[in-house]
Chain A
Amino acid sequence: MKMDLKFNEKTIDKAQADIQAKLKEIVKSPALLSEVADVAIKDIQFQARRGVTADGNKFKALSSRWIKERQKIAQASATHETFKANRSNITITGQLLDAMGKMLSKSGIYILFKGMHQPYQAKRVRRDGVRTVGKRISNDKLSGYVNELRPFFKIRESLLPRLKNIVIRYIRRKL
């Protein structure tokens, strides 16, 4: 999954003609877009690890079978500090959310998932040793599956004042 982060040109078209060109120039600034992307990435990670969707609802609970499996994974793999076997927060080792990054494009900036997600190790029940859970998969592909069940890849509406303030601060620094 990727998110194309660009300022809404239709909104800018509503500005008075004499400031439109300046606004268009400002919102295409790679430095500004990069700052917006950094805040958006950090916030998506934060909300997901708190176990809430961008709309502020709790993520769907984990199945009891998966909770048991997560307990065994925790016995054999290094887990993220927000991990709890029964906590639905898109986090076991933290690989997926940590794989979020940004990439500058001609039209704006993308938020995307980089790299490959490694399988987990889980403790065997009846004998010693560990087994592998899952398979190697791109974080991009995995994010799509995860987002279908627990929608996390979205900027929350309540981030608007902060994003506007980033633009305002940028205008003050640059003009």
Chain B
Amino acid sequence: MSEPGIKLSKSKVTQTIDLNKIVGSDISNDELLVSRIGQAIIDYIDNRVEDGKGLGEVKLKSPYSDSYSESLDFKAAGKSKNQVNMRLSGDMMGSIDILSTDGSKVVIGIDQPDQAIKAYGHQTGFEGHPFLKGPKRPFFGVTPEEIKKKILPEFKEEIKAKRVTSAEEQTRLINFIRGIKTLGDLLE
């Protein structure tokens, strides 16, 4: 299944979602709400994948291959052969982020090249990889139906309120955290 708005490359995996089209009213003035819905979409993808489901709640191909499930990395991560959840270290799923917002449009995705290439591989069945082969597991992205049914009910009242809210403080806080360069600067 491919969803409009999903773009895949080896260095960046993104989905652009115009929330106005899905919400059915204009929320483009409420930056904070757009950002919160964007985060809720990421949280939803995270939980959906943990349940072994990908885009459109389609079950991700299971089980894992014999060779992968016998590997040290697989065992060290405490994974189960029949529970496909796209997590080994957890770095790839943990790297899905809001990359930008513009009015009611939100772009979610992975722009860390070392994680994006993994996501690209899983989404495409390791297309173009010199030796790795594997099934397609389209774990990334969300359909308009999923947003309507699973995400928007939580924001019903806020959507009705039609506020004009700036996300300036949130953006500044996030940019400050993004700017931290070393682990020592983040944690004592």
Q: Nearest-CB distance from B140 to chain A (Å)?
A: 15
Instruction: Mark contacts of A154-170 with chain B using CB atoms, 8 A cut-off: 1 yes-contact digit, 0 otherwise.
Output: 01010111111111110
Within 117-159 of A, Cβ neighbours of B (below 8 Å) are at 155, 157, 159
Q: Which of A38-46, A57-65, A69-77 contacts B (4 or more CB under 8 A)?
A: A38-46
- Indicate if B72 sits at the interface (CB-CB under 8 A): yes
- Indicate if B156 sits at the interface (CB-CB under 8 A): no
* Total of A-B residue pairs, C-beta within 8 Å: 109
- Indicate if A105 sits at the interface (CB-CB under 8 A): no
Bound: A173/B93 CA distance, A:
17
- Indicate if A26 sits at the interface (CB-CB under 8 A): yes
Q: Which of B8-16, B33-41, B48-56, B126-134 contacts A (4 or more CB under 8 A)?
A: B33-41
Bound: A169/B94 CA distance, A:
10
Question: Does A165 contact B95, Cβ atoms closer than 8 Å?
Answer: yes
Taking CB as reference atom, which chain A residue is nearest B89? A46
Instruction: Mark contacts of A73-93 with chain B using CB atoms, 8 A cut-off: 1 yes-contact digit, 0 otherwise.
Output: 000000001100001010000
Question: Known contacts A39-B94, A169-B39; is A82 also within 8 Å of B188 by CB?
Answer: no
Question: Known contacts A82-B76, A168-B177; is A5 also within 8 Å of B187 by CB?
Answer: yes
Q: Nearest-CB distance from B74 to chain A (Å)?
A: 9
Name A's interface SS. helix
Bound: A155/B91 CA distance, A:
14
Q: In the complex, what residues of A have CB within 8 A of residue B174's CB?
A: 168, 171-172
Q: Nearest-CB distance from A48 to chain B (Å)?
A: 8
Q: Specify which of B76, B77, B182 is in contact with A157 (CB 8 Å cutoff).
A: B182
Question: Does A162 contact B180, Cβ atoms closer than 8 Å?
Answer: no
Question: Does A164 contact B90, Cβ atoms closer than 8 Å?
Answer: no
Q: Specify which of B75, B172, B184 is in contact with A19 (CB 8 Å cutoff).
A: B172
Within 7-57 of A, Cβ neighbours of B (below 8 Å) are at 7-9, 11, 15-16, 19, 22-23, 26, 36, 39, 42-43, 45-46, 49-51
Q: In the complex, what residues of B have CB within 8 A of residue A159's CB?
A: 91, 183
Question: Does B188 contact A8, Cβ atoms closer than 8 Å?
Answer: yes
Q: Specify which of A8, A15, A172 is in contact with B176 (CB 8 Å cutoff).
A: A15
Taking CB as reference atom, which chain B residue is nearest A81? B75
Q: In the complex, what residues of B have CB within 8 A of residue A22's CB?
A: 169, 173
Q: In the complex, what residues of A have CB within 8 A of residue B188's CB?
A: 4, 6-9
| Interface-centre pick from B112, B172, B185, B186 (highest chain A CB count, 10 A) | B186
Interface contacts beyond A19-B173, A43-B89, A165-B95: sample of 20 additional A-B pairs, CB < 8 Å, sorted by A: A4-B188, A7-B186, A8-B187, A11-B180, A15-B176, A22-B169, A23-B176, A26-B173, A49-B76, A50-B73, A51-B72, A81-B75, A82-B76, A155-B183, A160-B180, A162-B95, A164-B177, A164-B178, A165-B97, A167-B177
* 14 A–B contacts, CB within 8 A, in A order: A4-B188, A6-B188, A7-B186, A7-B188, A8-B184, A15-B176, A19-B173, A162-B94, A164-B177, A165-B95, A165-B97, A168-B97, A175-B170, A175-B173
